[in-house]
Amino acid sequence: MKKYVLDLRVTSVESLSERHLLLVATNPSGALPEMCPGQFAQLRIDDSKETFLRRPISIHTLDRTKNEVSFLVQMIGQGTSSLRMKRPGSLLNAVLPLGRGFTMPASAREQFLLVGGGIGIAPLLFMGMEMQRMGIRPTFLLGARSASDLLRMDAYRACGDVYVTTEDGSEGEKGFVTQHSLLQQRRFDRIAVCGPKPMMMAMASYAKKTGTPCEVSLENMMACGLGACLCCVEDTADGNVCVCKEGPVFDIKKLKWQI
């Protein structure tokens, strides 16, 4: 997939919580390139003095009709937090689309479970929307600390069946996604996971036990995002490989996780 450096224009910035932003941008110079769920963009950070590198942020949605791409950003440090300074009309320089995304269903009969924890839910909406275009309704299993951290639930419910866990029990089942009763009741043809590493390892372990094909999306610290600097490597069956280029999505069979 051809990669581009684009000067996008921000069309809206919405604060979804104290820690979360929804950034929507368009490409003023033409149609946005094709991209796949699970791929990411390297966003240039223009308003932060203490950071240096771009920030890798997953593609949250792609609206081809409106020529808009969106990013669901968790503001963790100064780099991501500075994105809140963006306003409609602001420049957003992005290198995209990067990396390898999730395996999509080969047929409409395949039952997919999309599991997201925390900000890891971000790429799964794009995946759900792409499946909806294929006439497939996926099942989402989404986890957060508490109800106020469950972001954009209406958008997820519009394209799939949504099951929720919160650590404080303020919405859905109390606990972690990996403890949800759904996992005891149903089997799926494939599982896609994005979230904190311990959660992904627990889901990988569940997938291994139940013999379900499973992919996880890693977020090792990156510099270039292009497979050039070899900083973001993961130790895999093929040796040290770049998460930015060979991933961020990996089949759990390729990883050397102790599960």
Partner 1 sequence: MADLRVNIAGLELANPVLTASGTFGYGIEYADFIDLSRVGGIIVKGTTLHPREGNPYPRMAETAQGMLNCVGLQNKGVDYFCTHIYPQIKDVRTNMIVNVSGNSPEDYAECAARINELECIPAIELNISCPNVRHGGMAFGTTTDGAASVVRAVREAYGKTLVVKLSPNVTSITDIALAVQDAGADAVSLINTLMGMAIDVEKRKRVLSIGTGGLSGPCIKPVALRMVYQVAHAVRIPVIGLGGISNAKDAVEFLLAGASAIEIGTANFLDPTVSVKVAEGIGEYLDRHGFASVKEIVGICE
- Min dist. Cβ of residue 59 to partner 1 (A): 17
Which phi and psi (to 5°) does residue 113 adopt? -110, 120
Sign of CA dihedral 156, 120, 126, 45: positive
User: Given candidates 196, 233, 251, 259, which one binds partner 1 under the rule CB under 8 A?
Assistant: 233
Confirm or reject binding of residue 19 to partner 1 (CB under 8 A): no
Binding-site size for partner 1 (CB under 8 A) equals 31
94, containing H or E segment: strand 91-98
- In this structure, the number of other CB atoms found within 10 A of the CB of residue 250 comes to 23
The Cα–Cα gap between 42 and 81 comes to 15
Task: State the nearest-atom distance from the C-beta of 106 to partner 1, in Å.
Answer: 28
Select the span of 1-9, 16-24, 128-136, 161-169 touching partner 1 (CB under 8 A): 1-9
- Which residues have a Cβ under 8 Å from the Cβ of 78 and sit 6 or more positions away? 48, 49, 50, 51
Binding characters for partner 1, 75-114, by CB under 8 A (x = yes): --------------------x-------------------
**Given its phi and psi angles, is residue 29 left (phi above 0), alpha (psi -120 to 50 degrees) or beta?**
alpha
> Does position 237 bind partner 1 by CB under 8 A?
no
Select 154 or 238, whichever has its Cβ closest to partner 1.
238
Least separation in angstroms between residue 44's CB and partner 1 is 7
Binding marks (x or -) toward partner 1, 39..68, rule CB under 8 A? -----x----xxxxxx--------------
Q: Residue 125, exposed/middle/buried by CB under 10 A (0-12, 13-18, 19+)? A: buried
| Residues in touch with partner 1 (CB under 8 A) | 2-5, 44, 49-54, 95, 220-235, 239-240, 245
